[in-house]
Each structure stands twice: as C-alpha cells, then as structure tokens.
Structure 1
Amino acid sequence: MVVLNGQTLNFSEVHRILYHGDKVTYSEESMRKVQESRRAVEKIVAEERIVYGITTGFGKFSDVFIDKDDVGALQLNLIRSHACGVGDPFPEVVSRAMTLLRANALLKGFSGVRPVVIERLLDLVNAHIHPVIPQQGSLGASGDLAPLSHLALVLLGEGEVFYKGARIPAKEALAQEGIEPISLTAKEGLALINGTQAMTAMGVVAYLEAEKLAYQAEHIASLTIESLQGIIDAFDEDIHLARGYREQVEVAERIRNLLSDSNLTTKQGEIRVQDAYSLRCIPQVHGATWQAMNYVKEKLLIEMNAATDNPLIFDNGDKVLSGGNFHGQPIAFAMDFLAIAIAELANISERRIERLVNPQLNDLPPFLSPEPGLQSGAMIMQYVAASLVSENKTLAHPASVDSIPSSANQEDHVSMGTIGSRHAYQVITNTRRVLAIEAICSMQAVEFRGKEKMAAATREFLENGRNVVPNIFEDRVFSTDIEAMNKWLKDGDFSF
C-alpha cells in the first residue's frame, strides 16, 4: 500500500502502482489540509467574494461574476465543454498515472476540493478503472485542460474507461465496482483540470521505459563489442576519470564489468589501434544520455509532487492567489531533452548495426547472411533502423519552442509540453526497435566468433535471446523477429 501525502511520491512507488498494481491511500494529515482548504472555498462562495474560477468564469470570461446558486453548474459546464480531446487514447498505464498524479496534487491541500473528489480518484486507481483520454488537444498551459477533462468526466459517471480489458462506458465500470459518481461543487472542476498531469504522467511512463532501455543499450552494445572484437582499453577507468563526468565513468564501469571475462575483446594494437567512434565512444555518448535523463528525472520528481492548479488557497482562505503553476514549461523542456537524449541511443546503435552488417567494415559474412548473395540476411534490417533513426530526428524537434495564443489572447504563451511528452515516448518506442535490431544482428555475429569465448553476462543474454529470436539459418520475415525482440526488451523483467 502506497500512502500519498502530496509531498513525497517517488519513482519507486509510482512504478509499483503502475506496473505491479499496488493499492493507494492518503495520509490523514494531508486530508486534514484538504478539508481546511475546502472550508475556505465554501466561505468564499457564501460571502460572494470575487475569486477566479470559484465565483467567476474561466479564461477570457474571468471578469464574469457567477451567482452562488450556479457555481455547481459552472464546474459541470467546464468539464463537458473542455472534454474535446482528439486522436488515439493515451496508453492505459499513462491514464492510470494521470489519475494517480492528480490525486497526489490535490492532497497538497491548496486546491479547495472536497475529500470525496480525491477518494474517487483513488477508487479509480485501486479498481483499475482507467479513463479513456485522447492524446491530442492540450497546449500545455492553463493545464492539460482537454485531457484532464476526459479524466474528470469519469468521476461524474460520464465518458469511457478501460476496464478488465474492454473499453466501456464509465458508468458501467463504476457500477460494477460499487463506486458512486460525484456531482461537482464550487472550484472542483477547475481543480481537476488545471494542472500538468497529462504531460507529467506521459513523461513519467516515458522516463521509466527510457531508464530500462538505457541499461539494455549498454548490454546490447557490449554484445556488439564482442562481435567486432572491440578494444577494451577504451573503457579503462583512467580515461573517463580524466574527463570527470560521473555518468560517463559509470557507463564505462558497467561495460567493463559486463565484458570482464570475455575472450572476444582485444587490446589496442592487437588487431587494430583504435575502434570507430560508435564503439570507442559508447561511455561518452551513452553517459551524456544518462546526464540528460538525470535532469529529466529531477524535474519529473518535483512535478509529481507539485501544486499546479489555479487559483491556490493559502492561510485558510485568507490568501487566494491566481498564478501560473499550470504552465508546463519545466516539463516541456525536460521532455524535449529526453527525446533528444534517447534519439542519440538509436543514432549510435544504428551505426553499430552498420558495422555489424557491412562487409567493408568487418570480417564477418556480408550482412550476416547464411548464404551471401542467395540470401540477404540482415541487409534490410539496417534499412529499418536507419528509417527509425531518421524519424526520431523529426520527433526530436523541440515542441517547447512553439507557442500559439489562446482564449482571446488572455493565455498568450503556452508550453506545448504534452506534445513534447508524446514525441519523447514515440522516440523511445522507435529507439527500442533500433536496439532490438542491433541485438538480433549482434547475436548472429557473435555466434560466428564462438559463444564459448563470450563473457558470462553477454552469453546469458544470447541464450535467453535465442528463445525469442532463433538463429538465422535462412531468410525469413524478419519483421516478426524485430517485434518479438522489441516485446522482450519492453516487457521482460530481466535487469542489467
């Protein structure tokens, strides 16, 4: 059971909730703050004070006063009108993360919602009811308004959900779990949608997959080093300490450990004096990716525990402040950075694939073919890797450098952070397939060298990998192999 308090949610807890189905609840102290904040909202309504989003309209309508008898209708209209997302839905795991993160943000006690709103969000998480949330339609400022509105609809018994493997009306899933829909009151609709939880949820899922993939990239690269009889001296600790980047030093250390008992690596001058950059510079390139990922992780950790709606309520309602914490710029930058960093793992991997299949660059059979000429072997797999790398280059164009004004120019600068997070996730998906191709090629190549000469760690990878993709004895539909390896890398519970 993970206890949320709006302050301390971490990646380990999120991973357990998203991928292992851990239950969630709230701390009593955090709920006490929620209740205090709620009392402040009710007082504002009773006194008919003019406070944005509580007794006024939204966006350009912020100057329109709303009678206290209409504040509930105001919130309902907000959710329905803003639920206009389009495109394919977010993956279920992202919807689950979004619901979790919205509850955690509200538990900080600055948003003025009733406890029942948070309880219902946690009910969805614990019952594995995941709102169907279209991916497109958020500008990443004023919060992820469209995506979060689709989430909020489910609390009202409206919209659709993923539940027990099916896409069904929300009211049916709630009824099956005995969960009562709620009716929104003052401030609650705005509190539910005025936040960065769509981009952050997508970012968290992307980061967790990227972290796993970065470790896998080192393991697959080690297999390629053996396949090409790479020079191990390039990974000597003194080289990397001399530069001083911690992540670079750590990558080199992990490669050395993986290959410590290999009889397929060489010393400088033994076969050649220097390897190509795609082998020799693995610590420098992969290490730089880890630097970027550490930055991304830091920003996501802050945002997972951030109050991002507007207005925020302080001092028991004596101070109600309109601000801009919903602006997604910090996460927009982080997501663009993540896309660029992971794209480079694919970029350098594709160059290693070329060295594995190009007979002008190695002494292996051309294109690792069992019968060069008659059979093409891995020739077109390299084409696929090159295509994915090229696609990544377009996806890595920063979304955060764009902004289009909205709400009659009241909201005149936005982050596009949700677009950035979606692009980062697609880059990760593409990169995994590139690494799957490198794994297939390096497994084939290293067997020409002799698996008995391999390091224990890489030989274990090879033996397990052969249960996923068999040896290439003749040409076949390699798309099936790439997808099988891709699935193994994504879903496998092995660790490096």
Structure 2
Amino acid sequence: MNQTAVEINGSGLTCDIVGLVARSGALVTVSPQAVERARQAWEVARDVADRQPVYGRTTGVGANRNVAIEDDDAHGLRLLRSHAGGAGPLLPAETVRAMLVVRLNQIAAGGSGVDPGVLGALSDAINRWAIPPIPAYGAIGTGDLTALAATALCLVGERPWQGGAAGPHFPLRPTDALAFMSSNAATLGESALACRDVTELLRAAIPVAGLSLLAVRGSIEAFAAPVHEACPHPGQRRVAEAMRALTADLDLRPARIQDPYGYRAFPQVHGPAVDVTEHAEGVVTREINAAAENPLVDVANRTVWHNGNFHTAYVGLALDAVRAAIFQTAALSAARLGTLVEPAFTGLEAFQAAPGEPGSGIMILEYVAHSAIADIRRLAAPAALGSAVLSRGVEEHAGFSTQSARATTDVITAFRTALACELVAAVRALRMQNRIPLGRLGEVYAQTADALDPAVEDRPLDTDIATAADLLARIAPYGSY
C-alpha cells in the first residue's frame, strides 16, 4: 500500500488523486480550513431550517416534499433505511473507496450542511479500508442515494462494514440524513477512475501503433507537422507529434506510397479520443470539487438554495462520447492487427507462423481483439438516450450518468485487451524480422520483448495477451501527448 498522505480541502481533488487513494491506499487528512468551512455550513443550515422550510431537513423528500417534519428524530433514520435499497452484485472495493474520497471532498467544499464531524469518520473509513457494502443497482444519475444511504447506515452502526471490518462509528444527526446522501459521489468516483484509465490506455496505444508501423515498414509521412497544421484539431496534432517523437531516430524506408487507414489515419481517429477524454476528465474534476448539493447551503448569504446541481448530465454525456471515440480507435487497432498477419505487410509467414510450418501462429489474436471490440461497440450506446419519470411524476428526468460510468469501466477492460493483442503481434513480428528499433521506440520494444515469450511455434497465447495487457501501463509514458 502507498502510505503517501493526501490532504483533502474541498477544491484540489483530481482523478489521479482519487486513483491514488482508492487503489494504492494513500492516506487522507482533511485541512483545518475545510473543517471550518463545513462547520459554518452546518450552523447556517440549522439556522435557516429554524426560520423556513428546508427540503429534507424540515420536509419529506421526492413527492413528499410538501410533508412537514417537525422535531422527529426518527425521520432521518427512516430516510436512510428506506433509501438503502440497492440490489445486485456489490461494487468493487476500489469503486467504493473512490466514492468515499469524493464525498469527503464534496462535504469539505462546504455546501452540504452536514455535521463536520462526519469528515473525520469518512477519513477514518478510508484510512482503515473499511468498505460499506454497496449494491450496483440503485442510481440513475440524479444522486447515488442507495449507495450513500447504505454508507450512512454503516456509519451509525446499524449495518456492518463489508467483511465484518471494524469501521468507524459516527452518530449522524437525523436532520443531516438527506444532506449526507444527496450526492453523486459513487458515480463520480467511478468516472474519475475511468478517466484516469482511459487516458493511460490512449497514451499506451501510441507506442503500440508505432511498433506496428515499424513491423509493416510503414511511412511516417502521414504524421508530418504540415499535414496536421493544415487540419489543426488539438488531439490530432498531439498524437501526430507523439508519433514523430517516437520514430525520430528510426531509418524508416516505407514499403508503399501510402499505408492503410490504421496507420495513415491514426492521428485523425485517435486524436478525437484524446480530446473527448480530456474534456470528460475536466467535467469530472469540476464535479468532484463542487459543492453540488441540494439544497445548497450558502454561508455568505446565510441561506439555502433549492436547485438542480444533483443532475449529472454533463458527466454522462461526456463519458458517452468517450466510449464512442474508444470504439473508433479500438477498431483501428484491429485494422493494424489485420496487417500484422499478412505476409505482404510483414514479409513473414501468414499469421506469423513459425518458418516452414503450416501453423496458425497468431491467428487467434484477431478473434480475441474483435470479441473485445464487439463489447466496446455494444457498450458505446449512449446512456443519455434513456430517461425516467419517478416519485409520482415529481422527478421527471434522468440522464443515467451512473450507467454511462459503469459502461466506461467495462469498455476499459475490452480496450486494454484489443491493444494487448496488437502489442503481442507487433513485438513478435519485429522479433521474427530480427529488427530492433532505436531511440524511444527501441526502449518500448526492449521492455515489451523482454517480457513476452519469444517462442513462435503454435501454442496458447492467453498468457502473452495477459502479459501484454499488464505492459501497457509501463509503456504509456512513451505515448505522452
């Protein structure tokens, strides 16, 4: 585990930090300023609720918003119990930990009005790896109510932490029940991890494509700066620049006047994925640092605002675009893989079979890659095309950003597999050609060739694919744009 300490202050959280805490076990602390900010919001929320109706504090929720709740200490517990009704398999521990750190940061931003003591309880849960059991189904992009209600029941001691872990106990006040669970922290936590992972794979795809280009004796003409200055999309230009940097030290003599689309149009197809992923990461980063609460406690004006910041349409739409772009660039990876089994492109036996043998070589890699890409295509359907009318018609829209985040998580696994298949094929081709690249691409080749099995006789390739998938994180920095 990583014992790095991360200070949570309500404004500086990034997707990388979410990953560091959720996966690597970085410890969290909360800044004194954030605690004071939360304390002031808590005091203002109580003061305003004494003077006027406040949704969820002095009223019921949803269609019960007009039902007054007066001095009923059991109301908050009833609210948590009634909303902790998720279903399906439990979310992975890293997703739940991402949720906890996002909710910690949101409360630290000072708009929820929750008792500031909950900051210490959430920090303690994160640092002790106490995981609330969170079922997968229950949210549709307008608040992760089931997930956070279940978390709150663990905090108050009514439900056990996952695996019977000794988690923290905090007596959440009844009036703070809705304020605690009215958040998209689970969706945003998963989105943050997804943005980080997609970025890493998009970077890794560049040196993988570079190895394939070398293996088929392709041309770098398509990456020339004047080409991309003539059509200056940001991602396209940066992908082309990264390819030029990777191939700068190579003596490439192209075997044809122009290459197939997998190479010639790589910047134009991979670039959009870079652009939409950066946009999505910006959207998610903005959300995880926002006091997107309903009602929002306004300390400066000593009031609360009932609003729609709980709706994460921005996040869902951004991630929908990411998955569509990933499908495009993954399909291009499969197209390059197709050239790597062709003797006309590699000068090797068909399917890179062992010399002199009528073997199948790497034939199966194409099947595996296209199987993975079929899932990407299926999961690329926009979640935002759905909607829902709930709570007796009072809540009449949903963007399904939760489903968009989950689909993006699943796409990552498939995309990693497709790229791994191409990497296995490119390294094997270069090895069989006895061609060792120089410069930065040579460094990539050395790291991957050392890890991948050099045997070329017909054999199972599942271990090769798994090894290559693990190598992608290591070579991603070579594709930095």
Q: What are the equivalent positions in structure 2 for 1:73-472 lying under 5 Å apart?
A: 73-141=74-142, 143-159=143-159, 161=161, 167-169=162-164, 172-174=165-167, 179=168, 181-263=169-251, 265-267=252-254, 271-315=255-299, 318-359=302-343, 362-370=346-354, 374-452=358-436, 454-472=437-455
TM-superposition CA deviations, 1:214-235 (whole Å, max 9, x none) = 1100010000000100101111
Amino acid of the residue matched to residue 121 of structure 1?
A: L
Alignment partner, residue 60 of structure 1: 63
When residues 345 and 87 of structure 1 are mapped into structure 2, their CA distance, relative to the original with a 3 A threshold, is farther
Counterpart-to-counterpart distance in 1, 2:156 and 2:35: 21
Amino acid of the residue matched to residue 468 of structure 1?
A: A
TM-superposition CA deviations, 1:237-260 (whole Å, max 9, x none) = 111112112222221121111112
Counterpart-to-counterpart distance in 2, 1:159 and 1:359: 62
TM-score normalised per structure 2? 0.93
Shift of 1:160: 5.2
When residues 298 and 321 of structure 1 are mapped into structure 2, their CA distance, relative to the original with a 3 A threshold, is same
Contact 1:366 1:372 in 2 (8 A): no
> What SS does structure 2 have at the residue aligned with 1:243?
coil
Counterpart-to-counterpart distance in 2, 1:466 and 1:154: 48
Shift of 1:382: 0.2
TM-superposition CA deviations, 1:182-205 (whole Å, max 9, x none) = 222143221222112122111110
RMSD: 2.1
Counterpart-to-counterpart distance in 2, 1:484 and 1:367: 20
Shift of 1:294: 1.5
Contact 2:13 2:288 in 1 (8 A): yes
Counterpart-to-counterpart distance in 2, 1:10 and 1:261: 35
Shift of 1:373: 6.4
Shift of 1:317: 7.5
Amino acid of the residue matched to residue 381 of structure 1?
A: L
Shift of 1:361: 5.4
Counterpart-to-counterpart distance in 1, 2:121 and 2:393: 35
Counterpart-to-counterpart distance in 2, 1:251 and 1:316: 46
TM-superposition CA deviations, 1:104-130 (whole Å, max 9, x none) = 111122211111111111111222223
Contact 2:45 2:303 in 1 (8 A): no
Contact 1:112 1:187 in 2 (8 A): no
1:42 maps to 2:46: yes
When residues 396 and 494 of structure 1 are mapped into structure 2, their CA distance, relative to the original with a 3 A threshold, is closer
Alignment partner, residue 164 of structure 1: none
Contact 1:41 1:186 in 2 (8 A): no
Counterpart-to-counterpart distance in 1, 2:268 and 2:475: 27
Shift of 1:44: 4.6
Counterpart-to-counterpart distance in 2, 1:437 and 1:346: 11
Contact 1:224 1:352 in 2 (8 A): yes
When residues 457 and 132 of structure 1 are mapped into structure 2, their CA distance, relative to the original with a 3 A threshold, is farther
Shift of 1:280: 0.8
Counterpart-to-counterpart distance in 2, 1:493 and 1:17: 23
Counterpart-to-counterpart distance in 2, 1:273 and 1:379: 27
Alignment partner, residue 478 of structure 1: 461
Amino acid of the residue matched to residue 213 of structure 1?
A: L
Amino acid of the residue matched to residue 422 of structure 1?
A: R
Gaps of 5+ in 1: 162-166
> What SS does structure 1 have at the residue aligned with 2:89?
strand
Q: After the TM superposition, which of the residue ranges 209-218 and 75-84 deviates more from structure 2?
A: 75-84
Shift of 1:445: 0.9
Shift of 1:28: 2.1
TM-superposition CA deviations, 1:331-386 (whole Å, max 9, x none) = 11111112112222211101111111134655331111115764211112101111
Q: After the TM superposition, which of the residue ranges 441-450 and 150-159 deviates more from structure 2?
A: 150-159
TM-score normalised per structure 1? 0.90
Q: After the TM superposition, which of the residue ranges 293-302 and 416-425 deviates more from structure 2?
A: 293-302
Matched-pair identity in %? 31
Counterpart-to-counterpart distance in 1, 2:352 and 2:460: 15
Shift of 1:286: 1.3
Shift of 1:4: 2.1
When residues 198 and 463 of structure 1 are mapped into structure 2, their CA distance, relative to the original with a 3 A threshold, is same
Shift of 1:158: 4.4
Counterpart-to-counterpart distance in 2, 1:315 and 1:215: 43
Contact 1:199 1:331 in 2 (8 A): no
Of the three residues 4, 10, 23, the one matched with 2:27 is: 23
1:8 maps to 2:12: yes
Contact 1:48 1:55 in 2 (8 A): no
Contact 2:361 2:456 in 1 (8 A): no
Counterpart-to-counterpart distance in 2, 1:366 and 1:29: 65
Contact 1:260 1:455 in 2 (8 A): no
Counterpart-to-counterpart distance in 2, 1:197 and 1:337: 21
When residues 112 and 186 of structure 1 are mapped into structure 2, their CA distance, relative to the original with a 3 A threshold, is farther
Q: Which 4+ stretches in 1 moved above 6 angstroms?
A: none
Shift of 1:323: 1.1
Shift of 1:494: 6.6
Amino acid of the residue matched to residue 441 of structure 2?
A: T
TM-superposition CA deviations, 1:278-307 (whole Å, max 9, x none) = 101111111111111121111011101112
Counterpart-to-counterpart distance in 2, 1:41 and 1:234: 60
> What SS does structure 2 have at the residue aligned with 1:275?
coil
Counterpart-to-counterpart distance in 2, 1:248 and 1:373: 42
Contact 2:15 2:193 in 1 (8 A): no
Shift of 1:89: 2.6
When residues 187 and 317 of structure 1 are mapped into structure 2, their CA distance, relative to the original with a 3 A threshold, is farther
Amino acid of the residue matched to residue 495 of structure 1?
A: P
Counterpart-to-counterpart distance in 1, 2:163 and 2:449: 39
Q: After the TM superposition, which of the residue ranges 78-87 and 419-428 deviates more from structure 2?
A: 78-87
Shift of 1:43: 3.1
